[in-house]
Amino acid sequence: MKNKTIVVGVSGGIAAFKSAALVSKLTQAGANVHVVMTESAQKFVTATTFQALSRNHVHTDTFHEPDSSKIAHIDIADQADLILVAPASANTIAKLANGIADNMLTTLILATKAPIVLAPAMNVNMFDHPAVQTNIATLKTYGYQFIEPGAGYLACGWIGKGRMAEPEDLVELVELFFVKPTTLAGKRILVTAGPTREALDPVRYFSNYSSGKMGYAIAEEAKKRGALVTLVTGPTALNPPKGVEVIPIQSAEELYEAVTTRFDRVDAVIKSAAVADYQPEEVLSQKRKKQASKWSVPLKRTKDTLKELGKRKNKQLLVGFAAESEQLEHYAKDKLTRKNLDLIVANNITEVGAGFDLDTNVVSIYTKDGQEKQYPQQSKKEVAAHILDELEAYAQRRDKQ
């Protein structure tokens, strides 16, 4: 959304308080946000709030021109890459459906060529009223898009459909709106993420520091690019990206089964999970009581899922990760060859800003055909975009051979 101009229209309704969070998140994402408020909206949230969050003048009056050299509603209408009305009240929906332009918001919308998205919010009975549904149907014929309200407890006390979509969901949908189709569109991508837990007894297990943030960021980015994503995830505290099939697992054995049984049906596997290399030889059925003596636990190797996929692969793309503390390039390239990978993403876990349970990473990407790139410290979302860029570029080179 960087450098995109997004107009957020706020109409009258208690859901207007959510719009403050929406504007804040869009601004933080790099969008140039202009807020347009109806008179009724100002009864719930002040224009000053939106001005502080958007860092732009808030438009409330068609006849107030902050810049005398421009006609405000035409200028903003021409600049807009997208207009999002959230909340969209029954009254505003009715005005737009009937071409009424009696305030800054409705006038601007009638004057724009930009795509228009409405996020309705109202009492469940109002939303279900034939007049409202007719108006919505009319606007859809004009090309307006709607983000369906959620169901639940409403501010009026009723329970039903009418809650405006949450700001986080709206931001995600806006991001998707600006994503251009890529070569991953329609491809089936399986991503693994998070740690595994290898049971020792009913209350103890061996695990690692993986948070799953890298894998979840890759799954989210692949979904944005139009891929059909399956996320095989160990236990994490993260919410999976919307629209992604989620397969929860606990152990390395469960991950092996989840991935290998689906491998023939996918186009690519990106294996970012931190899978345990060892597991206890014996899992105790009862909790082991504390004793004075030392406790030695014999370990055995877990199944090597990535190596098995490398043996089985036909035309699938296979991406592995190498988390190392020394000789990063040597170990990464060795793993790339030894496990028959197409790409490997390597990071030095001792480097500042890299490794487990952080929001950032520092990676190098090596490909089977000898390409390599190093990236500075970036957010894991940015790293995920680089990984998929490299995967798409590699796939195009491979297909030309």
pLDDT computed for residue 159 by the predictor: 59
The answer to the question of residue 339 being in a domain is yes
> Is residue 288 domain-resident?
no
Q: What is the maximum alpha-carbon separation in the chain?
A: 85
Closest C-alpha to 101, from 130, 66, 74, 128: 74
C-alpha closest to that of 75 among 62, 93, 94, 91 = 62
Per-residue pLDDT at 251 exceeds 90: yes
- Reduce the DSSP state of residue 399 to 3 states and report it: helix
Mean pLDDT of 391-401: 91
Residues 145 and 230 in one domain: no
pLDDT digit string (tens) for 281-315?
A: 999 999 999 888 899 999 999 999 999 999 999 99
Same domain, 159 and 216: no
Residues 97 and 36 in one domain: yes
Annotated binding-site residue numbers for CTP: 277, 287, 321, 335, 339
How much is the average pLDDT of 58-71? 78
* Distance from C-alpha of 167 to C-alpha of 147, rounded to nearest angstrom: 12
Instruction: Tell me the C-alpha distance between 164 and 150, whole Å.
Output: 6
Q: Which of 156, 178, 200 is the last residue of a domain?
A: 178
Could you tell me if residue 293 is inside a domain?
Answer: no
What CATH number corresponds to the domain at position 359? 3.40.50.10300
Which residue numbers are catalytic? 156
Question: Is residue 365 a contact partner of residue 344, using CB atoms and an 8 Å limit?
Answer: yes
Q: What is the mean pLDDT of the chain?
A: 91
Residue 86 CA to residue 66 CA, distance in Å, equals 24
In a domain, 285, yes or no: no
pLDDT at 280 over 60: yes
Residue 287 resides in a domain? no
* pLDDT at residue 376, rounded to an integer: 93
Residues 151 and 211 in one domain: no
**Claim to verify: residue 29 and residue 164 sit in the same structural domain:** yes
Residue 294 domain flag: no
Could you tell me the pLDDT band of residue 382, with boundaries at 50, 70 and 90? very high
- In this structure, the answer to whether residues 148 and 89 fall within a common structural domain is yes
- Mean per-residue pLDDT, 141-149: 90
Q: Are residues 329 and 368 in the same domain?
A: yes
Domain holding 146, by residue range, is: 5-178
Average pLDDT over residues 34-43: 94
Give yes or no for residue 123 having a pLDDT over 90.
Answer: no
235 shares its domain with 383: yes
Query: Model-level pTM?
Result: 0.70
Q: Which residue has the higher pLDDT, 372 or 68?
A: 372
Q: Are residues 150 and 210 in the same domain?
A: no
What CATH number did the domain enclosing 59 receive? 3.40.50.1950
Check pLDDT > 80 for residue 198: yes
Residue where a domain stops, chosen among 147, 178, 209: 178
Residue 289 lies in a domain: no
Q: Are residues 251 and 204 in the same domain?
A: yes
Examine the domain organization and report whether 167 and 197 are in the same domain.
no
pLDDT value for 175: 84
Residue 82 reports pLDDT greater than 60: yes
Query: Do residue 264 and residue 171 come from a single domain?
Result: no
Whole-number pLDDT of residue 66: 74
pLDDT tens column, 327-379: 999 999 999 999 999 999 999 988 888 878 889 999 999 999 999 999 999 99
Q: How many domains does the chain have?
A: 2
In a domain, 183, yes or no: no
**Banded pLDDT at 154 (limits 50, 70, 90):** low
Q: Give the residue-averaged pLDDT of 156-164.
A: 64
- Distance CA(342)–CA(320), nearest Å, equals 8
Q: For the beta carbon of residue 144, count every other beta carbon within 10 angstroms.
A: 20
334 is written with which tokens? 């060795």
